[in-house]
Structure 1
Amino acid sequence: MNKVHLLIEDQIAFITIDVPPVNALNEEVLHQLSKALDDISNSEIDVVIISGAGKKAFVAGADIREFPTLNKDTGEALCRRGQSVFTKIEGFPQPVIAAIDGFTLGGGLELALACDFRIASKSSTFGLPEVKLGILPGYGGTQRLARLIGIGKAKQIIYSGEFFTAEEAFKFGLIEEITDESPLEKAKEWAEKIKQRGPLAVEFAKKAINIGIDLPLEEGLEWEARFFGELCETADKNEGVTAFLEKRQPKFLKR
């Protein structure tokens, strides 16, 4: 039975995690999520949207039933499996949007952090409660959260394990937008905007940001200039500039 559903509509890939009642991540879910990404890696899509089925949870963490028998070796292996899937999301060529509705805890929050940006409903709840279980966030949470919102706030959240609201998450920069509408519908609106832009330009912009964020500014600027130069050799650049000068909408090449 599939626990991760993939639907492609008009160059947008919708990945839905469907594991009642709270869409918990287990080894099979991670495997299916990874496979869904592989299945669309060479397809003609412009944006990926990840969501959880229902309104109760985006993803409410890992499946704790897998934890009692963990030891040093199996625990490390578990982390590396989850990390590899989330790193695949972070490095995916096309933008990946998290459409968040409900509990987004532990591994669920780590999944959201691996996406390019996050849109959440007002009723969503966030947290990294792993320390309450005597462990730490192991799917990238200790690394991505600090990079996104700053080391002090990340430590406060991780050390306490406390939950926080969507309003708080927005205030300190963990999510980019709160919506009264369906987060999935709002994510689709952003996806439609991104679809109208040059697909190679968006892909290279993502690469430039992801590579440069951990480098000194001078090295990041080198990558930016290099990617800009590569784009100057593309048909998309010629079409985009020509369309601007002719005062019309560009017709970019599809992948």
Structure 2
Amino acid sequence: MKPIMQIYTKQNLIKNQFLILIRNISKNQSYLNSTSAQSASSSSSSSSSDDLILSKKLSQLSIDNNGIASLILQSSPVNALGIDLFREMKESLQILEKEKPKGLILKSNIKTIFSAGLDLKELYQPDQDRIKILWNLLQDVCVGLYSASYPTVAAMNGHSIAGGCALAFACEYRVMLPKFMIGLNETRVGLHIPKWLIASTKNILPRRLAEAALLEGRLFTTCEALKFGLIDEIAKDDDDLIQKSQIFFNKFNKTESLARATTKQYFRIQDIEEFKAFRKEDLETFLFIVNQEKFQKNLGKYLTDLKNKKK
């Protein structure tokens, strides 16, 4: 049996963590409660009244009159996830934790591409300090989305590959246009799937299917993704993507924001705490793999082939 003092200390720690969580969530509860409900029929026309919060080179953050935030990725040509884009996304998520919107729509303004994943050029013959920053930012953004106190939707207007899929999996709800691909194909390019991403995948797919898909590096078509549960809905066009996102947010009009946020945290707290415990190990594993001679050789060949295809 554990000593009484150890049990008492652990109970106090849990209690303190809960109180901190409640204070953080309730700080802006009045904003959420004052937000009016928006009907799905008017959702696609809301962009004209958006309040632009943060305009950067690679992304834009806005919140409309109904309290719905939009984080738009605009890093041509494929929304490759590099240091600069991650920094912008992290800043936007920090702003939203203070603003506490009614919901967040994560989307892309690049036709046919949600995100093609990590900027692989950063991984080839890498600067060690830069790839450490890159991986830490990937962790911050994905876990930040996953632990967000407000509802989140990935509105995918195109392919969502590798890191792009990780962003989508970190959101609560996923809507996608037809005839595109989604999946975590990291093992095909020689990278591992981190523990925190495996955890979020197992929350979406049955364990056996999740394991098979991640080991194989499988990509799913939109229809396959709906069938197996990677996405929640298929939208017919860009307007329908936003409309379906609005319908998802409206499901919570009758719920108390604090109660919803706290319940969400309880569902996800174990994954978040495990991430914190293994964060350093995750970075070390990433650095070990990226610096392998075989990985560098294969990545160099891949990037050369990709360059030749564009000629």
1:149 corresponding residue in structure 2: 205
- Fraction of identical pairs, as percent: 26
* Match among 254, 257, 260 for residue 202 of structure 1: 260
* Match among 178, 182, 198 for residue 122 of structure 1: 178
2:148 corresponding residue in structure 1: 92
Q: Residue 99 of structure 1: SS of its match in structure 2?
A: strand
Matched letter for residue 141 of structure 1: L
Q: Gapped runs of 5+ residues in structure 2?
A: 1-55, 274-311
TM-score with structure 1 length normalisation? 0.75
2:57 corresponding residue in structure 1: 2
Q: Residue 204 of structure 2: SS of its match in structure 1?
A: helix
Instruction: Name the CA distance, whole Å, in 2 between partners of 1:139 and 1:5.
Output: 30
The answer on whether the counterparts of 2:199 and 2:271 sit within 8 Å (CA) in structure 1 is no
Relative to structure 1, is the Cα distance of residues 208 and 88 closer, same or farther in structure 2, using a 3 angstrom cutoff?
same
Relative to structure 1, is the Cα distance of residues 149 and 62 closer, same or farther in structure 2, using a 3 angstrom cutoff?
same
Instruction: Name the CA distance, whole Å, in 1 between partners of 2:195 and 2:167.
Output: 8
Q: Residue 148 of structure 1: SS of its match in structure 2?
A: coil
Instruction: Name the CA distance, whole Å, in 2 between partners of 1:22 and 1:173.
Output: 25
Relative to structure 1, is the Cα distance of residues 197 and 146 closer, same or farther in structure 2, using a 3 angstrom cutoff?
closer
Relative to structure 1, is the Cα distance of residues 107 and 212 closer, same or farther in structure 2, using a 3 angstrom cutoff?
closer
1:22 corresponding residue in structure 2: 78
1:39 deviates by 1.4
1:120 deviates by 1.3
Relative to structure 1, is the Cα distance of residues 201 and 58 closer, same or farther in structure 2, using a 3 angstrom cutoff?
same
| Aligned alpha-carbon RMSD (Å) | 2.5
Instruction: Name the CA distance, whole Å, in 2 between partners of 1:91 and 1:171.
Output: 26
1:250 corresponding residue in structure 2: none
TM-score with structure 2 length normalisation? 0.63
Matched letter for residue 186 of structure 1: K
Of 187-196 and 78-87, deviating more is 187-196
2:137 corresponding residue in structure 1: 81
* Match among 178, 182, 187 for residue 131 of structure 1: 187
Instruction: Name the CA distance, whole Å, in 1 between partners of 2:87 and 2:101.
Output: 21
Instruction: Name the CA distance, whole Å, in 2 between partners of 1:150 and 1:133.
Output: 24
Residues 212-251 of structure 1 correspond to what in structure 2 (within 5 A)? none
Residues 50-65 of structure 1 correspond to what in structure 2 (within 5 A)? 50-65=106-121
* Match among 148, 163, 168 for residue 112 of structure 1: 168
1:176 deviates by 1.4
Q: Gapped runs of 5+ residues in structure 1?
A: 216-255
1:104 deviates by 0.2
Q: Residue 182 of structure 2: SS of its match in structure 1?
A: strand
The CA deviation string for residues 147-172 of structure 1, in whole angstroms up to 9 with x for no partner, is 32133212222222232111111222
The CA deviation string for residues 19-49 of structure 1, in whole angstroms up to 9 with x for no partner, is 1121111111111001001112221521111
Instruction: Name the CA distance, whole Å, in 2 between partners of 1:29 and 1:102.
Output: 18
